[in-house]
Chains A and B, each alone.
Chain A
Amino acid sequence: MKNKILLALVLASSCSLFAQKKFAQLDQELPTPNEYRNAAGAPGHRYYQQKADYKINLTLDDKEQKIYGFETITYTNNSPDQLDYLWLQLDQNLFAPNSDTKLIEVEKMEDFKSVGDIRKKMFQFDGGFKIEEIKTVNGQKMRYFINKTMMRIDLDKPLAPKTSISFQIKWWFNINDRMAVGGRSGYEYFEKDDNYLYTIAQFFPRMCVYNDVEGWQNKQFLGKGEFTLPFGDYEVNITVPSDHVVAATGECQNYNAVLTAEQRKRLEQAKKADSPVIIVTQDEAMNAEKNKATTVKTWQYKAINVRDFAFASSRKFIWDAQNQVVAGKNILCMSYYPKEGNPLWERYSTKLVAHTVKTYSKYTIDYPYPVAISVHSKWIGMEYPMICFNGGRPEADGTYSEQEKYGMWGVIIHEVGHNFFPMIINSDERQWTWMDEGLNTFVQYLTEQEWERNYPSRRGPAHLIVDYMRGDKKNMSPIMTNSESIFQFGNNAYGKPATALNILRETIMGRELFDYAFKVYCKRWKFKHPTPADFFRTMEDASAVDLDWFWRGWFYGTEHVDISIDDVKWYQLNTQNPEIEKAAKKSAQEQKDVHIGVGRNKTSITETVNERDKDIDDFYAKRDIYFVDALDKKDYKDFLAKIDSKDLELLNANKQFYEVSFNNIGGLVMPLILEFTFEDGSKEVQRIPAEIWRMYEDKVSRVFIFDKVVKSMRLDPFLETADVDLDNNSWPQQSQPTRYQLFKQQQTTRENPMQRQMRVNELNKN
């Protein structure tokens, strides 16, 4: 309904008064800035971090599936603190028979319906490190205590600030069958050719981080919260069967000893190529599969300034590589995969590695390492410095579905992307999974969109998170929750933070501001250990955008976005001109609904009394209330004399006023993005910052002024705010069809197009 108003200001109004909570600054929640981490979100002037260098000799026993290792660790204490003991991570102990991981699984009797279930429950894998000795480099035994997945080495003499200690550990362990036992590393067994493909990580006792935030980060490894480790230099000698091909963190120092002349030649070609060059061919790999060498070779690796080391080894590997230039530096991008991965792996893997390294460098920091590797094994996705293990396997006949292809692409981009988060920007994933998984998933999305237009990213755009975010909050966790306690791990620590960053980039800050601030964060904290506060502070510090409301809502809370258009009131200015106003009133009266009797009476009653007897109608019956008389004209003339020309122009401009009321049903405040469609078909978008909610968190209203009449309006037309209910986003109200209704309208099903094409080709042959 249209209303007339006099020339007056309309103020934004509210229906409720609330103490301001959502826009409260985050000062209470964030740690106090100090000399190690300052208020700008940068490392402070006394920031420090420890260093751990490793020299490791290990042997892979392909017959028994065991690893035997011996390491020398040199640990440098750069902190201002004296250390009485050192803590190391023993992640293989996750598989030990007495592991806490098994004990903390919630179980019910209905989980044991079959003999198979019981057998699996009672199956004991003799996992875990078998520590044989720990001693100083002088041969003196050291005292140590193992607390499940953590080991404390007690020092006879405390380690003073700015000093180092070297010590040696000897160990072995049984490698887990990933298909049977699970795990982030282990082996995949190929029954058909009786061969193993090893993807080995967390295979040595590793130093824990000691820093200003946690002291020792020695929270137990329960399975979900992953790792943080100090940086250091590695020299690793890996002894494997002589027909194995090895891929590892760092650069191999002795290709002369482990590759044939022909393979070395291909490798040199690959270093200059901008598309993949095969170094070990499928035929060579298939030959190796059959022969099973009984001799061994040792591959020697060096890696500088990395936080971890991992490797893969198999006689089944096909190996290809290409060069990718980043900021003038050559990065050798490589893939290792069994023939079962083809044709997908040969066609795409190394190109994806190269693309990922290049694109992530654009948005974060220049990739600093000499190599980036993708290794294929079944049902896996895991990351280590310069090397990652990825799943995605075609069918035995070599065909694959579109979904399989995109899945493989996504996992390679994601895992290679982890080189940046957390391998280089070394956040504490034991504590905060989101700091690497969420940030990485966000940049993964950007990288996917640059690989292919309209890439079907599973995470990133705001509307993809709404199903997770709606509903009862008692089974949801804030993003800022320790890794082990998260409900809905994937959505919470990967999807929601990635979505939040995408919203910041596309809607709150804009791409230019966001990209700059994000790069500042990455540059500040590369090769260091950032915390959430460092990230939050840096993003504000580098952009001048107050984001506390955003961190508070998206990262510290569990509310969702559901903002509705509650009410729309339409106003026009009263021109005071009787010719216009009375004509408008007459027109409005003529358009009003009338009772059905009125129309029927017009035909059924041929003549009323007052139509027959002219004496019945008096002044009131005869007058025309819409007639513009002399007094109307005089009043208008007097009005014109008082008003100035600018106000008159405004009055006659035919401005349309819309007072729109919004209700924050979901709780999570967001900007108001409105698309207005006018009667002439044109559209206009207006964006109101989220600060409109700063004083009134439940309901606000806003007046919009146009030169044209609005036909309809839509809130969040570009799906930017993760609004869970679009039914209340329109005026006039419009219900969105359900997915089932859309399906009924479209009625499509698909088969694997590649297999269908094969049948088409067959038909064409005939």
Chain B
Amino acid sequence: MKTLFLLLITCALSSNSLRAHAFYFAYAEVSVDEVGQRIEATLIATAHDLELVFEKENITSLRLEKALKNQNLKEQIESFLNQSFYFEKGINRTYFKIDGYEIKREGTIEFYISSEWKEPIQETLFTFNLLMKNFPEQQNKALIIWRNFKKNMEFLPNNSQQLIRFE
């Protein structure tokens, strides 16, 4: 079978070059607002990892705090995040806007994001493969808060898309 290659320029980064760094972990705290028909989330990653990836993928070579002040770059970063963090059910899919962010002194960045979502959260497909294409060791976790329930989910490169089920 012939496979067409896209002309996206991606680059798998060697984890050896960032040896003492070793943080390859992103976390999301997600709450479902059924009344407001929204999903609100905090997406946490290592700022330096993102800067590295944005530079390699020719999005920007600026530091995040500068890049996020540029509307055009902010939208590109938003688009990047949405490619690796989304919920879908049937033809419906989230598109998260960056409502705010905070770069912590210890090196993480928290993106405060939200998206419209009118579907029931049960049986929704959740993809969270942020940075996995760039760092083979990346592992992500999420906490989904819905009504009185809390669900922890883990995502690895070979299991980055899962169905949400509350038992």
Contacts and interface: CB of A to CB of B under 8 A. Distances in A.
Interface of A: 105-106, 109-118, 120, 178-179, 181-184, 223, 379-383, 395, 401-404, 406-407, 410-411, 414-415, 456-458, 467-468, 470-472, 475, 487-491, 493-494, 725, 727, 738-741, 743-744, 747-752, 755
Interface of B: 3, 5-12, 14-25, 27, 29, 31, 40-42, 44, 47-48, 52, 63, 65-66, 69, 99-108, 110, 112, 114, 133, 136-137, 139, 141, 143, 145, 150, 152-154, 156-158
19 contacts: A111-B12, A113-B6, A113-B8, A379-B52, A381-B19, A383-B20, A401-B103, A403-B107, A406-B107, A410-B107, A467-B25, A468-B141, A489-B24, A738-B40, A740-B40, A743-B42, A743-B110, A747-B100, A752-B63
Nearest to B105: A456
B24 A401 contact: no
B9 A738 contact: no
Contacts of A490: 21-25
B146 to A, nearest CB: 12
A483 to B, nearest CB: 12
Nearest to A752: B65
Q: 6 smallest A-B Cβ distances: which pairs?
A: A381-B20, A182-B14, A490-B22, A471-B152, A182-B16, A456-B105
A755 B106 CA distance: 19
A379 B65 contact: no
A183 B18 CA distance: 8
Q: Which of B6, B9, B63 has the most CB of A within 10 A?
A: B63
A729 to B, nearest CB: 14
Given A407-B48, A470-B143, A490-B23, A106 B157 contact: yes
Contacts of B44: 467
A114 B19 CA distance: 26
Contacts of A456: 104-106
A182 B15 contact: yes
Given A106-B158, A407-B48, A415 B139 contact: no
B66 A752 contact: yes
Nearest to B16: A182
Given A380-B19, A468-B141, A472-B154, A114 B8 contact: yes
B84 to A, nearest CB: 13
Contacts of B108: 458
Contacts of B103: 401-403, 750
Contact of B112 (A403, A471, A487, A740): A740
Nearest to B138: A488
A489 B63 CA distance: 26
A407 B48 CA distance: 9
A727 B102 CA distance: 24
B93 to A, nearest CB: 19
A753 B46 CA distance: 20
A402 B65 CA distance: 11
B40 A472 contact: no
A186 to B, nearest CB: 9
Contacts of A105: 136
Contacts of A749: 100-102
B128 to A, nearest CB: 12
Contacts of B66: 751-752, 755
B106 A406 contact: yes
Contacts of B105: 402-403, 406, 456
B47 A178 contact: no
Nearest to A111: B12
A721 B8 CA distance: 45
B11 A116 contact: yes
B18 to A, nearest CB: 6
Contact of B9 (A110, A112, A114, A395): A114
Given A382-B20, A401-B103, A738-B29, 13 more contacts: A182-B15, A183-B17, A184-B19, A381-B20, A458-B106, A458-B108, A470-B141, A471-B152, A488-B139, A490-B25, A743-B42, A750-B103, A751-B69
Contacts of A111: 12, 133
A407 B52 CA distance: 15
A524 B151 CA distance: 46
B5 A114 contact: yes
B5 A740 contact: no
A494 B110 CA distance: 22
Contacts of B112: 739-740, 743-744
A468 B25 contact: yes
A183 B16 contact: yes
Contacts of A457: 106
A491 B24 CA distance: 9
A456 B108 CA distance: 11
Given A181-B14, A489-B22, A738 B145 contact: yes
A415 B7 CA distance: 40
Q: Which of B20, B40, B65, B136 has the most CB of A within 10 A?
A: B20
Nearest to B142: A471
B157 A116 contact: no
A487 B156 CA distance: 10
A751 B67 CA distance: 10
Contact of A407 (B9, B10, B107, B141): B107
A748 B106 CA distance: 17
B102 A471 contact: no
Q: Which of A395, A407, A493, A494 has the most CB of B within 10 A?
A: A407
Q: Which of A116, A178, A403, A748 has the most CB of B within 10 A?
A: A403
A743 B12 CA distance: 33
Contact of A113 (B10, B40, B104, B145): B10
A407 B65 CA distance: 15
B65 A471 contact: no
A328 to B, nearest CB: 32
Contacts of A739: 29, 42, 110, 112
A381 B21 CA distance: 7
A184 B16 contact: yes
Q: Which of B22, B99, B141 has the most CB of A within 10 A?
A: B22
